[in-house]
Amino acid sequence: MRQTWRWFGPKDLVSIDDMLQAGVEGVVTALHHVPTAAVWSPEEIAERQRQLSVMKDGAPSGLKWEVVESLPVSEDIKRQTGDWKLHIENWKTSMRNLRAAGLEVICYNFMPILDWTRTDLAYRLSNGATCMRFDAVDFAAFDLFLLRRKGVEADYTPEVTEAARARFAAMSDARKEELAGNVVFGLPGAAERMSMEDVKTHLAHYDNISAATLRRHLIDFLAEVSPLAQEIGMRLCCHPDDPPFPLLGLPRIMSTEADYRAVTEAVDIPANGITLCTGSLGARADNDLPGMMRRLGDRVHFLHLRNVALEERHLGGSFHEAAHLEGNTDMVAMIAAILAEETRRKAAGRADWQIPMRPDHGQDILDDLNRKAQPGYPAIGRLKGLAELRGIMTALSHPAVRTAE
């Protein structure tokens, strides 16, 4: 695996120097300051490449921008409203500009409105570390009593509604404000920040869009962009829903193996691929992640390796982000499946035999607790995760292990 690291640009509290000391081989970044649907110009792309090419003292870093995460897909494209056709053309122009600058992989997502959802951004664990968490009752309290969206009552059982009512009644005003901010936080580093009124307005725009309609819109988008990607040597990879179950009455279409199979078969072009995120997909107990890697690995173009601890096994239950080797995903089995896929690709002569991965998220530990970096993206917590993943990868790749097999 190619060991990469996500960087949010010059304002990121985790520096290029930090990345080098962590031993990463490449950088995952994006032009977060460019508005959604605008073209990424060659000048802006070159400036981001320049920024990550030097250390604090001006010395060359040796690092290159290797994966784009994310080139945003506009809400108009997802809904097929407004200037959605122009937005697709702009997306294709950005893709051409990225490829001309040497980029080959673009990660994107097709989640309506919010890119991920948590109720806690710094949940304290028993050892003093903090992590991101989704509390199902807190989320219901937000949805029922803060957002108060249309038709909300039908989405919750009487038991969950009563638990949420009691939880909300016990919340301080400060916690209510914090909860609302956490839920609508969206993607760290994104250009937009959404208010409660923004969310209500966007929700109204999805009133008549079912999961089947949203999937059709994704396939339409991919039918436009994937042939160009194939032609110019670019690989596209869709990130799964996070969390991978319905929220706020919105459709979810990239939550299971069946979802990915449907989309890759509908646009059956090698460039149309998968970002396999073990954290997002791992929030469903019925997702077999090593099995997905074995069965769909031919189309996996990018890997996010992290773990979650399921606090409840039913769909939509609470979970928190665990240390990389401590959650419900068997990370050893997962990495073994990845290495097996890389071996198959190498034997077949594929130029993309080495799959880029990044240690996704991480718990805030040690000095992370003072830095206050982007939620989920601490320096030391991710370094610990990368070291653990690297250890598994090194051990499974060792000749003695292969001989024993």
Catalytic option among 131, 143, 361, 364: 361
Sign of the torsion angle spanned by Cα atoms 277, 280, 283, 286: negative
Residue 228 CB partners (closer than 8 Å, separation 6+) = 92, 95, 96, 234
**From the candidates 107, 237, 238, 239, which is the catalytic residue?**
239
Catalytic residue among 108, 206, 260, 377: 377
Active site residue 360: yes
Q: Cα separation of 381 and 323, whole Å?
A: 8
Whether residue 260 lies in the annotated active site: no
Q: Is 108 known to be catalytic?
A: no
User: Which of 277, 320, 324, 368 is flagged as catalytic?
Assistant: 277
Q: Which of 87, 217, 301, 304 is catalytic?
A: 304
Residue 87 DSSP SS3 = helix
Cα-to-chain-centroid distance, residue 161 = 29
33 is catalytic: no
Query: Do residues 331 and 99 lie in contact, with contact meaning Cβ atoms separated by under 8 Å?
Result: no
Residue 32 annotated among the catalytic residues of the structure? no
What span, in angstroms and rounded, lies between the C-alpha atoms of 314 and 45? 43
Query: Which pair of structure tokens corresponds to residue 304?
Result: 């996010």
Helix (H) or strand (E) holding 380: helix 379-397
The helix-helix angle for 42-51 and 84-100 (nearest 10°) equals 50
Is 217 tagged catalytic?
A: no
| Strands 105-108 vs 120-124: parallel, antiparallel or unpaired | unpaired
Name the token pair of 214.
């949203």
Q: Which residues are known to be catalytic? A: 239, 277, 304, 360-361, 377
